[in-house]
Amino acid sequence: MSAREARLDPPIQPGETDPVSDLDATGRDDGTVFPQSVASGGPTPSGVLLWTRVASDARDPDEPLGVEVAPTPSFDDPPLRREIPPERLHTGSDYTVRVDLDGRLDPDSTYYYRFAYRGQKSPMGRCQTLPRPDASPDSLRLALICCQDYQNGYYGALARVAEDDVDFVVHLGDYIYESAAHQYSGLGSERYRSIRLPSGNDLASSLADFRKLYRTYMSDPHLQRLHRRHTVIRTWDDHAVGNNRYWDYEADAPVLPTHPRGDDPEFAARLTAAGIQAWWEFTPARVGYDPDADHLHDAFELYRAFSFGDLATLVLTDERLFRTPPPGAGTWRPGWFGGRSDPDQTMLGGDQRAWFLNAMRESETTWTAWANEVLFSPFQVGVGAATLRPKTDSWDGYPLARERLARGIESDATSNLVALTGDLHSYLASTMPTADGAADERRGLGPEFMTPAVTSVNLTEAVGLDEGVVGRVAGGIVSRVARAMNPHFALFDSSRWGYSVVEFTPEESSYTAYAVDKTVDSADASRSVVARLRVPTGGVEPRPMERRSG
C-alpha cells in the first residue's frame, strides 16, 4: 500500500444518511467542545474533506460525533448526515477527525456543514468543490497566504481573506513556527502573544509540542473565520518541523540545522516524524501518510495536483523533505558564491521530480500554476563579480537543480506556467529564467508571484526599520535597490505584511497584493493595495496594472 492510500478514511457511501440525534441539538458551542472550530480541504469535483477537533476533556467514550452537510446555510433541504463512531475520537490523533465526502457532492458547488457533539453544535463552515475536468470556468480566484508567526503579530489579514470573494485559499507554508521563544520574530514582538510548550523547551522537541502549537494557532478567531469561510489547500515549509531543514543523503536522515539537537540523525528523524504527524492531524488534505513506513521519504507524500476545469491546474511540491544540503551547510563558510559544485543536488528528489515533470507535461489547461514553497527566481545582491546570492535556502542554493528543472519544463512546453511562492516574507513579482538564464519581456519560464508573510518578520523589521516614516523610507530604498540589482523583478517590497489574490481567466493571470495592519487584533485591521500586476496568456513578464502604496 502506498503512503497515499494508507490513511484516508473511507468515503461516505451513497445512501448513508444516518439519523444522528445530536444534530437536532440546539446548543451552540462556545469553544468548549470544538476549541479549534471547523475546517475543510482536499477538494475534488465531488467532495471535500471536513475537519474538526473535539476537546479532550469534552470527549465521551460512548458518544458518536454527528456531521451534516447541506447546499444552503439554513440546512432546510434534507442534509447529508453522518455519524462518526466514538472510537474515531482518540488521543492517537489528538481527537482530530476528518470526514471524506468524495463522491457525495456536486461539482463547482458551495456547501455548508457543521458538527454536533454532546448537545452542542459547532460553528457552521462553508466549503467548495472543484469544477469538473471538462468544465470551462470563466475565472479562478485563489487567495495566497503563508508565514503566520503567531508570536509576531495578529491575524487581521486572515479575517480579510475570510471576507474576500475567492474560490479557494492556498496556504504556501509556515502555518506554524516551531518556536515558543520568539526566535523567528522581530524586535519587540513580546508585545504580541506567547506560547509555552509542554516540553518547556524554546523549540518544539516532541509530538506534544507540535500539537500544542497547532491547537494554539487554530484557537485564533481570525484563522478560524478563514477556515469556516473557505476551503484551504495547504502545503508546508521548513517551520512545520525545523528552520532551514534538509535531508542528509549520506546519513540518510533529516538535518535541522538551527535546532540544538538537529544534527543528531535519530532525534532529527523522530522530530520530523512528529512534525509530519501533527501536520497531518491538523490539516484536512488528500495527501499520502503512512506512519508505519520504514523510511520517512515513504511516510509522507505531500505533492499533489488539482485541476479547475480546462482553465488551470495547480501543482503542489514538497521542497523540504527531499532536498540535499544547501551550499555551505555544516560549515562556517556562507554559501553565497556557490552551489554549482554538487552535481547530485536536488530540491524535489528523483521520484517527485519525475512526477512534477509528468504533471507539467500532462497539464492541458490554459494555465499551470505551481505552488512552489521557496523562491525560484534568482535573487542577487551586488553587481558583476561582487554578486552574492544570499538566499541559499531557496532555489538559489540549488542552481543546477533549477537549471535541470527549467530545461525539463521547457522541453515539455508547459502551458502558461505561473509560480505561486511564499517563504521570503516579501511581496515579489518576477520573470523566472529559462535554463540558459533568459528572463526578460519575451523569454522566460513564466511569471513568479510571491505572497507576503501574514505576520512573520520581514527585511525592514529584521533590521528594526519597520516603524512609521522611517519604515516607509527604508522599505522604499530596499525595494528600489533590490529591483535595480534584479532586473527580472517587477515588484519587491519587504516592509509590509498581508496576503495576495491571483486570478486566472482564459485571457490573463493577475496578482493583487494587499497590506494589512498586523499590529491590531481586529477583523477590521486596515487594508491597502500594494500592487496589481498582470500577465496575458503567452506572456512571461508581470506588468503593473496600477500602483499605489498605502
Tell me which residues touch Fe ion (CB under 5 A).
147, 174, 456
Q: Which residue lies nearer to Fe ion by CB, 226 or 439?
A: 226
* Dihedrals phi, psi of 396, to nearest 5 degrees: -60, -25
Q: Which residue lies nearer to Fe ion by CB, 145 or 147?
A: 147
Q: How far is the CB of 510 from Fe ion (least distance, A)?
A: 25
User: Beta 417-421 vs 367-372: how paired, if at all?
Assistant: parallel
Q: Which residue lies nearer to Fe ion by CB, 359 or 454?
A: 454
Q: How far is the CB of 210 from Fe ion (least distance, A)?
A: 16
Q: Which residue lies nearer to Fe ion by CB, 147 or 161?
A: 147
Strand-pairing partners, residue 312, are 308, 367
Q: Which residue lies nearer to Fe ion by CB, 173 or 335?
A: 173
Signed CA dihedral, 211, 225, 7, 18: sign only: positive
Q: How far is the CB of 148 from Fe ion (least distance, A)?
A: 8
3-class SS at 435? coil
DSSP-assigned letters across all residues of 73-138: TT--S--EEEEE-GGGS-GGGTTEEEEE-TTTS-TT-EEEEEEEETTEEPPPEEEEPPPPTT---S
Q: How far is the CB of 525 from Fe ion (least distance, A)?
A: 20
Q: Which residue lies nearer to Fe ion by CB, 52 or 272?
A: 272
Q: Which residue lies nearer to Fe ion by CB, 117 or 379?
A: 379
Q: How far is the CB of 37 from Fe ion (least distance, A)?
A: 24
Distance in angstroms (rounded) separating the CA atoms of residues 345 and 401? 6
Q: Which residue lies nearer to Fe ion by CB, 357 or 478?
A: 478
Q: How far is the CB of 129 from Fe ion (least distance, A)?
A: 30
DSSP-assigned letters across all residues of 274-340: HHHHHHHHH-----EE-TT-SSHHHHEE--EEEEETTTEEEEE---SSSPPPPTTTTSSS--TT---
User: Beta 288-289 vs 300-301: how paired, if at all?
Assistant: antiparallel
Cβ proximity of 375 and 489 under 8 Å: no
Q: How far is the CB of 121 from Fe ion (least distance, A)?
A: 35
Q: Which residue lies nearer to Fe ion by CB, 233 or 450?
A: 450
- Which grid coordinates are listed for 63? 458518544
- Which grid coordinates are listed for 187? 524586535
Nearest to 308 by CA among 39, 534, 45, 524: 45
Q: Which residue lies nearer to Fe ion by CB, 151 or 365?
A: 151
Q: How far is the CB of 173 from Fe ion (least distance, A)?
A: 7
Nearest to 367 by CA among 315, 402, 412: 315
Question: DSSP code of 246?
Answer: E
Q: How far is the CB of 424 from Fe ion (least distance, A)?
A: 8
CB atoms within 10 A of CB 442: 9
Q: How far is the CB of 100 from Fe ion (least distance, A)?
A: 30
Distance in angstroms (rounded) separating the CA atoms of residues 157 and 385? 41
**Residue carrying the nine cell digits 477590521:** 524
